[in-house]
Structure 1
Amino acid sequence: MTKSEPAPSESDLRAYAAIGDGRTVALIGSRAQIDWMPTPDLNEMPAFARILDEATGGSIELAPIAPFEVSRRYVDRTNVLETTFTTGTGRAKITDALVTGAAGRLPWAQLVRRIDGVEGQVEFGWRVEVGTALHTVSPWVQSTPQGEIIRAGDVSLAVIGGNHGPTPRTEPRAEYDAAAEPTPAFTGEFTAEAESRHVIAVVATSGEPLYIPDADDADRGVDRTIANWRAWSREFSYDGPWARHVQRSALALKLLIFSPTGAIAAAATSSLPENPAGGKNWDYRFAWVRDLAYTANALVHFGLREETHAAVSWLLRSIRESGPDLHIFYSLNGDVPSDTHTHEVSGWNGIGPVVTGNPAQGQVQLGVYGDLFSVCRVYVDAGNVLDIETGRMLAVIADRVCDLWRDRDAGMWELPDEAHYTSSKMGCWQALNDAVHLAEIGQVAGSADRWATERDRIRLWIEENCWSEDMGAYTMHPDTTDLDASVLLHAPSGFDRGDRMSSTIDAITGALGDGSLLYRYSGVDREEHTFVACAFWRAGALACVGRYDEAIELMDDLVTRGNDVGLFSEMISARDGSFWGNLPQGLSHLALINAAIIIREVAGGKADGH
């Protein structure tokens, strides 16, 4: 965002902005407090997790001591955040960055908070309080020749700075029983004046030595990181409608790319609730094949070659190493996670449970086959070549789809009741359609005639069993009147861009819509809020069936639904616009990006100027 806007209330997840370095992500609230930051990697247990554990989660606080007004924005074309505080005596600016090095990401995590006085005087207080990692460790302070550091399990953490007024000792919060609630902290106070500069940096490693930078290097790291983000943004290529929103979504997506492996996290957080009653609180710090399929499409369109290759290579390597079955998601390191653990902490606003892990692992989701082949097709059609081993693997998987598509599965939404979900059958159609394409251009050697025959058989089955004349729509599965927004994904996939899909859009809008927003499937409005991605899928589907004006009008509304810095969560309340679910949510930003790309491609100049 280029304009500074008032930050939202702390009672809403809209209050959080995100910064990252390719290893981890920090969420910064509207008072500039950091309430979530796994260290040093995103998939670690979080040393700072007050967003989920108010008592012992840990946070990094920095704010004026006197009452203040606050506004914030991202530094243009970066994931570096500027927060401006105005008090009765002056104004000062905080620039927050998870810094990167001259050669890319650092081999440790380093958060730098640079405070510049703008006018008058502003007294600041700060506190770095390391948490219990959801009650799995007991942090403690160790004195070393380089100063005091905090140990929390395998994590080692130090606070350094310049002109930042540190206190000589660390003390736990007075309102907590230090023996029962071990939350050691570093604290300090300083006064920002016109043209003064102050630096606070937090550096962390896990299971390895701790590097201690000096304050001047930490300060330079902010400028270097801004330059690195802008260099990346210069490589970003998108000249089309809603360009500002598309670029911010691309930057948000970049935060979720785990650079050590190339994996793409579904979201940066765990256990943020989908509704006030709780229950559907899951860990999204894993890489879904589905998300990678949409990401590959976006990255190719943006000309981001390195990220595309890294993501595709990570996926294919993970499948081979964890095979022979295709899993719906993998850890950021590429293995198959299995355990889910519930932690006895309060949860965001007291809404639990708080979990690490995700129980969807092990489900049968047939649509994932379409996602895999979509990734490979997009990669090849961009001018790349598959290796021989991958070609053989895809041929085996295509043969498997020919046999599996008749099975029941859990559907895209990971439902407990297996059925013949329509969108899953459409995903199998897409898998075989793309397999035939890859065979025709010599990338996959296999039974292309069989794949084509079975592909056509799937289409016939869907048309005979999943289309309801009474509803005027593809239903969620045969023998039901329920509807499912994930069917809309198969306008862009090419399964149907005609009258039946157009009629399905209208039926879904009538049954699942609330203004411009959309629920996932019939009946789910009783237990959760609208799903951001579904609304953008509807915009893309409208364009695919030739309803360009409606698609453009819908997009014009939807892109404004993000928070003050352009981020989206998983869900939005249709009642008050509040955010729900994990954030930043990759699927939400991907849906925005891909809807804009689709509308630009099929509507041509009609969307110019948006």
Structure 2
Amino acid sequence: MSEWSPAPAEGYLPIEDHGLIGDGRGCALVGRDGAISFMCVPRFDAPPLFCSLLDRHLGGSFLLAPDRLRQSRQHYVEDTGVLVTDLHADTGVVEVTDAFLLEPGARLEEDAPAGRGELVRHARVTRGSVDLTVALRPRGGAQSERRAGGWELTCPRQSLKLYLSASRPLSGPQCTLPLNEGEDVWVALRWSERRAPHMSPSIDRRIKDTEGVWRRWSAHVVGDTPRADLVRRSAITLKLLDHVENGAIVAAPTSSLPEHIGGDRNWDYRYAWIRDAAYTVFALRRIGLPDEAGGFVHWALTAAQREGRLRVLYNVEGRPPPVEVIDDELGGYRNSSPVRWGNAAAEQVQHDVYGEILDCAFQWAATGGTLSDGLWHRLAGLAEQARTAWKTPDHGIWEVRTRGRPFTYSAAMCQVALDRAARLATRLDLPGDATTWAREARHLSGRIIGDAWDERMNSLTEHLGPGGGLDASLLALPLRRVLSADHPRMVATTRAVAERLGAGDGLLYRYLPQESPDGINQPEGAFLLCSFWLVDNLAGQGRVDEASQLFEKLCSYASPLGLFAEQIDPSDRSFLGNYPQALSHVGFLSSAVVLARTQRGIRPELSTHAWFR
């Protein structure tokens, strides 16, 4: 058990001291102190019901904890999204089980909603006696009225009506319940119109049913990888970020958790990035979960068709996210303001989106997915756009807030779009100029090798032409089969990235802002995804022992619950950025699969699918 320690001087739990629960529509972060400090329902990108993680005074929370808390620990019920927090107080111990309830028998791989629109918190005293605090405080306040079986709360800020019920009478949404050893209480919070029966005797059964839904889904995860326990947990975490109704996958469940304490690199990640979602479905397919790829491809192309163009990111309905605004009321996590809602990157130009979707469609078809005539027509249109898009500046994978540049990664993903379109047309006898697409893909690979190379740095650089800085996104080129990992210029680039962008202990910065202006010009933490990319490159270069050692080091950066942050502060290993971060889990899964196959004697560049051979 980890000792309970006082919160930092600013009064906030560390980011890593939180677990994620959800139902494929909305989700919540549960702290090791028994408080739900961030929660968005009925969908991921809704105005937060609780966000004390961004302001402990004004953000609102849902506390279920004993008085005089001294120690705590958390764990997930194995292979599920159900979280257990053990809370040790002066007088006794309480076990709190938190779950977003799922319908009995639901199948998470289907697009039918599995959630009931209900959060259950079940507290049981395992030793001694406690005074259990129940404190439901939505952000912006709520009007509460007693109803049969509990309380009805109207939350004007969220335009949401809540129903609070419990197995014991509650004197109000904020009250104290004395409990002795062996006694328990469940508290249910509902936001759907459906009403659950008061004093239901089957609460344990409903939680067990929810566990069963998760276990049936996670049973499909392959088990022959290094750190199979973390692989299963990463798969479940990514599924918690998957909007089950349509295949959208949000980048993270939170907004404005800072990439540097005291800085203003604070962004809203509760939306579906084309890039992040494509990486996610690719990772899930590689560990035995292919169904999410088809849902994502249809969602992304439907969103693009609706507007007549392809955006960088969308809300979970496939529409433009809200305009980015600063919330002047909230002070930010550990006083790191500003807090932002919405994301201005939605208006940026990023050419990598063509390759992300074509690659995802390729993976989908390669594992038996069907491409209808209409779907293929739209995919072929994206390939045609990629033929010329790479020649014009864009804002790149890191979404710089400066003028556009001809980023190498963006050009590489246009190469991916052309290559995958050619392979699909050839393999499936689909209409389109496969010969031209393949020829131009080869030509673009050559331009990248030549135009992005800097003799002085002995490395590829961030953009085509002179003057580019070093960028860790170059490590992704072998992963997307633009260059082989053992190409001499890729080997040299890997060495340069590790040396010049290294932050110590296996960590890497994305780039150096003083050399690669991004419009922010502030420090940030080390970006965890980039280090997993380094693992894959080392393995592809035959440096398997080094890759395995780095992989194990990176696994130590997971939280006690097995969750990965976006960034790590190299000075103290604390978590930074929105959490848990889909891309970090994707990078981990990719490295686990690459190492598993390398250790079985399969060359990494041949391990994706026979369609590449």
* Structure-2-length-normalised TM-score: 0.90
How far did 1:252 drift?
0.9
| Secondary structure class of the residue paired with 1:22 | coil
Task: Show the counterpart of 1:331.
Answer: 315
1:446 aligns with 2:446: no
Q: Distance in 2 between matches of 1:156 and 1:110?
A: 12
Higher mean alpha-carbon deviation, 513-522 vs 276-285, is at 276-285
| Secondary structure class of the residue paired with 1:273 | coil
1:189 aligns with 2:177: yes
| Secondary structure class of the residue paired with 1:240 | coil
Give yes or no for contact 1:540–1:596 (8 Å, CA) kept in 2.
no
| Secondary structure class of the residue paired with 1:275 | coil
Task: Show the counterpart of 1:152.
Answer: 155
1:80 aligns with 2:69: no
Task: Show the counterpart of 2:409.
Answer: 423
Letter in 1 for 2:43: D
5 Å-filtered alignment, 1:14-33, equals 14-33=16-35
How far did 1:394 drift?
1.5
| Secondary structure class of the residue paired with 1:228 | helix
> Structure 2 residue aligned with 1:527, among 523, 527, 531?
523
Cα RMSD for the two superposed structures: 2.1
Letter in 1 for 2:45: N
How far did 1:526 drift?
5.1
> Structure 1 residue aligned with 2:556, among 523, 540, 560?
560
How far did 1:387 drift?
0.7
Structure 1 residues 372 and 308, CA gap change in structure 2 (3 angstroms): closer
1:501 aligns with 2:490: yes
Give yes or no for contact 1:256–1:267 (8 Å, CA) kept in 2.
yes
Structure 1 residues 280 and 444, CA gap change in structure 2 (3 angstroms): farther
How far did 1:145 drift?
5.0
Give yes or no for contact 1:395–1:444 (8 Å, CA) kept in 2.
no
> Structure 1 residue aligned with 2:423, among 433, 437, 441?
437
5 Å-filtered alignment, 1:69-218, equals 69-104=71-106, 105=113, 108-132=116-140, 139-144=142-147, 147-153=150-156, 154-163=159-168, 166-167=170-171, 170=172, 185-193=173-181, 195-205=182-192, 209=193, 211-216=195-200, 217-218=202-203
Give yes or no for contact 2:34–2:87 (8 Å, CA) kept in 1.
no
Q: Distance in 2 between matches of 1:129 and 1:210?
A: 22
How far did 1:88 drift?
3.9
1:411 aligns with 2:399: no
Q: Distance in 2 between matches of 1:119 and 1:338?
A: 48
5 Å-filtered alignment, 1:127-526, equals 127-132=135-140, 139-144=142-147, 147-153=150-156, 154-163=159-168, 166-167=170-171, 170=172, 185-193=173-181, 195-205=182-192, 209=193, 211-216=195-200, 217-323=202-308, 325-344=309-328, 345-415=330-400, 416-442=402-428, 444-477=430-463, 478-480=465-467, 482-497=469-484, 498-515=487-504, 516-523=506-513
Q: Distance in 1 between matches of 2:490 and 2:442?
A: 18
Letter in 1 for 2:170: P
> Structure 2 residue aligned with 1:39, among 31, 35, 41?
41
How far did 1:601 drift?
2.5
Cα deviation 1:493-527 (Å, max 9, x = unaligned): 12222221111111001111112011011237951
Letter in 1 for 2:597: E
Cα deviation 1:340-384 (Å, max 9, x = unaligned): 222122111221111211010121111121111110111011122
| Secondary structure class of the residue paired with 2:175 | strand
Q: Distance in 2 between matches of 1:473 and 1:549?
A: 24
Task: Show the counterpart of 1:180.
Answer: none
Q: Distance in 1 between matches of 2:257 and 2:30?
A: 15
Task: Show the counterpart of 2:596.
Answer: 600
Give yes or no for contact 1:412–1:423 (8 Å, CA) kept in 2.
yes
Structure 1 residues 568 and 443, CA gap change in structure 2 (3 angstroms): farther
Q: Distance in 1 between matches of 2:75 and 2:321?
A: 36
Q: Distance in 1 between matches of 2:498 and 2:375?
A: 40
Higher mean alpha-carbon deviation, 359-368 vs 515-524, is at 515-524
Q: Distance in 1 between matches of 2:18 and 2:494?
A: 33
Letter in 2 for 1:508: V
Cα deviation 1:470-511 (Å, max 9, x = unaligned): 222111122125101111111111222222111111100111
Runs of 5+ consecutive residues of structure 2 not aligned to the other structure: 107-112, 515-520, 604-613
Task: Show the counterpart of 1:582.
Answer: 578
Task: Show the counterpart of 1:181.
Answer: none
Higher mean alpha-carbon deviation, 210-219 vs 456-465, is at 210-219
Say how many residue pairs are matched. 577
Q: Distance in 2 between matches of 1:414 and 1:526?
A: 15
Give yes or no for contact 1:530–1:572 (8 Å, CA) kept in 2.
yes
Cα deviation 1:5-46 (Å, max 9, x = unaligned): 557754421111111111111101111110111122212111
Q: Distance in 1 between matches of 2:368 and 2:4?
A: 44
Give yes or no for contact 2:165–2:198 (8 Å, CA) kept in 1.
yes
| Secondary structure class of the residue paired with 2:63 | strand
| Secondary structure class of the residue paired with 1:40 | coil
Letter in 1 for 2:183: S
Letter in 2 for 1:372: I
Give yes or no for contact 2:325–2:341 (8 Å, CA) kept in 1.
yes
Give yes or no for contact 2:390–2:406 (8 Å, CA) kept in 1.
no
| Secondary structure class of the residue paired with 1:43 | coil
* Structure-1-length-normalised TM-score: 0.90
> Structure 2 residue aligned with 1:49, among 40, 48, 51?
51
Higher mean alpha-carbon deviation, 332-341 vs 589-598, is at 332-341
| Secondary structure class of the residue paired with 2:257 | coil
> Structure 2 residue aligned with 1:536, among 532, 538, 551?
532
Structure 1 residues 294 and 7, CA gap change in structure 2 (3 angstroms): farther
Q: Distance in 2 between matches of 1:227 and 1:14?
A: 27
| Secondary structure class of the residue paired with 1:563 | coil
| Secondary structure class of the residue paired with 2:122 | strand
| Secondary structure class of the residue paired with 1:235 | coil
Structure 1 residues 71 and 406, CA gap change in structure 2 (3 angstroms): same
Identity of aligned residues (%): 32
Q: Distance in 2 between matches of 1:369 and 1:6?
A: 49
